Amino acid sequence: MSARSFRSVGWVAGVAATALGCYMVNLKVASERAALEDVETRIVLAERDIRLLQTEIGTRGRLAQLEKWNVKVLALSAPAANQFMDGSFQLATLVAPQKVLDPTAPVVLASAPALAHQPVLASDGAVASPSAQSSPAGMLHTASLKRELPAAAMPRRVAPAPKPVPEKSKLAQAAAERPTPARRKVAPKVDPLAPKPEAKATAPAKTGAAASKPKAVALTKPKAKVETKTAAAKPKREAESEAAAKPKREAATKTAATSKPKSKEAPAKQ
């Protein structure tokens, strides 16, 4: 009875609720759309601002202005034909070390100085600058230029021997003798690929602990045989000036870079 009489009221309520729901959805959509439009408007405004700023930057940095600065301050000019490179290889050749063929430079002894340098590097930063400068160069050249594997491996084994004998004459002898036996012995044992990293890695470990100058002298002597001889014979100053006169060579060739600074130090200590 009552259910039937309220049926129409139920219908009305249902329809009203549905209509209201639809309207709510509608309202929601409309507000979302408004927000979207708001964002779009902001984008357009931002684009306008960007355009305005770009125009301002472009106007302030106009080519005529840059040219004026160039003429008055920088004075840059167009590159000449010979300033153009064929490629990265030609560019690299500009900074490549000049290889000077020096018959007296003992190619063999390339890696020994790397050993000798390490103490200076590892122990004390305040040590004379030449050694500090030379050590990275020495390492670099050991890694790149030296292709002879035995030479790299050699110092570890051979170097300790001359330690107690710092005299020049003996060193010279030792140097003369050493290379041949050392190479013969070591070469077969060492892994052909290993020596380069080894030489670098082991050196600091060894030298870091006992970084005394005498040792360094002893180590370097054999390598820098030819140069040290002359350097030691001359007064220290001369040796220094000679060293200074050949900066290019030092940087360029492996042997020179590694041995020179040592030869300077050696006579001073003695």
Partner 1 sequence: MNAPTPALVGRPDRLRLVGQRRQLLAVMHQRLMFGMLVYAGIIAVIVLRLLWLAAFGDHAGRKTTVTTAAPDRGDIVDRNGQPLARTIDAWTIAVHPTKILGNKLDLARKLAALMPERDEAGWLQLLRSNKNFIFLRRRAAPSLVEAVNALGEPGMALSREPDRLYPQTDLAAHVLGFTDIDGHGAAGMERAFDQRLTDSATRGEPLVLSISAPVQQALEHELLEAKTTFSAIGAAGIVMDIHTGEILAMTSLPQLNPNIAGNMDPEARFNRATLGVWELGSTFKPFTVAMAMDAGKVKSMGQIYNCPRQLHAFGRTINDTHPFGRACTVAEIMQESSNIGTAQIAAQTGAEAQKRFLKGMGFLDPIAIELKEKGRTLTPGSDWSELATMTVGYGHGIAVTPLHLATGYATLFNGGIYRPATLLKVGPGHQVPRGRRVFSDATSYKMRALLRLVVTEGTGGKADAPGYRVGGKTGTAEKLIGGRYSKNVVVTSFAGVFPMDEPRYAMVVMLDEPKGTADTYGFRTAGWNAAPTFGRVVSRIAPMLGVRPDLKREPNMAEVLPYIRKED
Binding site for partner 1 (CB under 8 A): 23, 26, 30, 33-34, 37, 41, 44-45, 47-48, 51-52, 54-55, 58-59, 62-64, 67, 78-82, 84
Beta carbon of residue 87, minimum distance to partner 1 (angstroms, whole number): 12
Nearer to partner 1, 41 or 180 (CB): 41
Beta carbon of residue 63, minimum distance to partner 1 (angstroms, whole number): 4
Beta carbon of residue 92, minimum distance to partner 1 (angstroms, whole number): 19
Q: Which residues, other chains included, contact 80 with Cβ-Cβ below 8 Å and sequence gap of 6+?
A: none
Using CA atoms, how far residue 70 sits from 63, 67, 74, 110, 233, in Å, is 10, 5, 5, 48, 55
Beta carbon of residue 67, minimum distance to partner 1 (angstroms, whole number): 5
Beta carbon of residue 8, minimum distance to partner 1 (angstroms, whole number): 21
**The dihedral of CA 102, 226, 262, 183: what is its sign?**
positive
Closest CA to 147 of 116, 177, 81, 192: 192
Beta carbon of residue 69, minimum distance to partner 1 (angstroms, whole number): 12
Amino acid of residue 165? V
199 vs 117: CA distance, rounded Å: 12
Nearer to partner 1, 70 or 212 (CB): 70
Per the CB < 8 A criterion, the answer to whether 222 and 175 are in contact is yes
Q: In which region does residue 235 sit, left (phi positive, over 0), alpha (psi from -120 to 50) or beta (all else)? A: beta
Nearer to partner 1, 7 or 48 (CB): 48
174 vs 164: CA distance, rounded Å: 12
DSSP 3-state of 190: coil
Round the CA-based radius of gyration of the chain to a whole number and report it. Answer: 39
Nearer to partner 1, 55 or 180 (CB): 55
Six-digit token string for 198: 């080894």
Nearer to partner 1, 18 or 41 (CB): 41
Beta carbon of residue 56, minimum distance to partner 1 (angstroms, whole number): 8
93 vs 257: CA distance, rounded Å: 19
Nearer to partner 1, 87 or 192 (CB): 87
189 vs 142: CA distance, rounded Å: 19
Nearer to partner 1, 77 or 104 (CB): 77
